[in-house]
Amino acid sequence: MRRAAIAAAAVVALVFPWAGGEGYFTHLAITVLIFSILASSLNLLMGYSGLVSIAHAAFFGVGGYTSGILAVRAGLPFWVGLPAAAVVAAAVALAIGLPSFRTRGVYYIIVTVAFQLIASEIFDGWGGMTGGGLGLKGIPRPGALFQTKVGYYYLTLAVAAAAHFAIVRLIRSPVGGALTAIRDNETKARMMGIHPLRYKVFVFTAASGLAGLAGSLYVHYLEYAHPEFFNFAVSVDLFLAVMLGGAGTLWGPLFGVVALEAIREVLHELVALRLLIFGALLVVLILFLPEGLLPPLVRQVRRLAPAARSAEG
């Protein structure tokens, strides 16, 4: 059943651009794929490691500006900028993670909030490199094959598929088991011989590197980078997407990204109402649905499926 669903999703993903063409739906699909990398990498922290980060958009921006600056200022191709974005974002995360994970509880969250605010100031203030408030313009798309939306969709689909595959492999590896052990009970994990600091720094660095990768894809698609693409509100949206779909589930982040994008499109002209709904959703999820919407929906479908087969029989 699961394999059939995955195969069907893969077929839909591959043929989708032939229906959407160069239109708006292909643009939305590219955006969803990029943000699915972001949400799934944040889920590595929140769902599988028990680490809350309010700085994921900052690493998204570090990757985006790294790739954009290399392309615009240094004339280097996308194929250099893409891995460089991941490496620089991961290096920055390593520099932040080593000292911040020596703190406990709310202090670590404060560190991530502080980094998000500092990064936003750097993106906006270093005009000579980042373009400042005017943004960094002229970021090229890679090669003739990916100039169209359809071509770029397939590039994004390939990178997103590789990123999700790597995340699943990590979760199902002994490292993933160690991370969930730390999440569930750090004291017991220590007694089992697991070194929490080492694993926390590793997963924070890996998740931030994936965010940097997504940032590179995003700015080369838009051919533009701006501080507002990577601000505090984006970090909160990513947090909400993971919570909405279900932290600690494989498909939850993608579900959350699609749901939030749908709300954003329906309420495109009603910004204040959209923000109100997002805020209310966050409160409801934290208080009443901490496991998100996808797990209860899946359970309900599983309950109904046997009843439907019995009725047919």
Instruction: Specify the pLDDT at position 306.
Output: 59
If we measure between CA atoms, which residue out of 244, 219, 188, 189 comes closest to residue 42?
244
Instruction: Specify the pLDDT at position 44.
Output: 93
Helices (H), 126-148: 127-130
C-alpha distances in angstroms, 81 versus 12, 68, 121, 179, 219?
30, 7, 23, 30, 11
Neighbour count for residue 190 (Cβ, 10 Å): 13
| 187 within domain boundaries | yes
Cβ-proximal residues to 142 (8 Å cutoff; 6+ apart), any chain: 77, 78, 79, 155, 220
Check which CATH number belongs to the domain holding 109 and give it: 1.10.3470
| 119 within domain boundaries | yes
pLDDT one-digit tens code per residue, 218-267: 999 999 999 999 999 899 899 999 998 888 888 889 999 998 888 888 77
Residue 217's domain spans which residues?
Answer: 2-306
| 131 within domain boundaries | yes
Domain count, the chain: 1
| 276 within domain boundaries | yes
Instruction: Specify the pLDDT at position 92.
Output: 96
Specify the higher pLDDT residue, 174 or 125: 174
| 311 within domain boundaries | no
Q: Is pLDDT at 268 greater than 80 in this prediction? A: no
Instruction: Specify the pLDDT at position 146.
Output: 92
Give the mean pLDDT of 39-68.
94
Instruction: Specify the pLDDT at position 9.
Output: 78
| 58 within domain boundaries | yes
Q: Is pLDDT at 87 greater than 70 in this prediction? A: yes
Rounded to the nearest integer, the mean pLDDT of the chain is 88
CB 256 within 8 A of CB 242: yes
Instruction: Specify the pLDDT at position 5.
Output: 67
CB 81 within 8 A of CB 68: yes
| 313 within domain boundaries | no
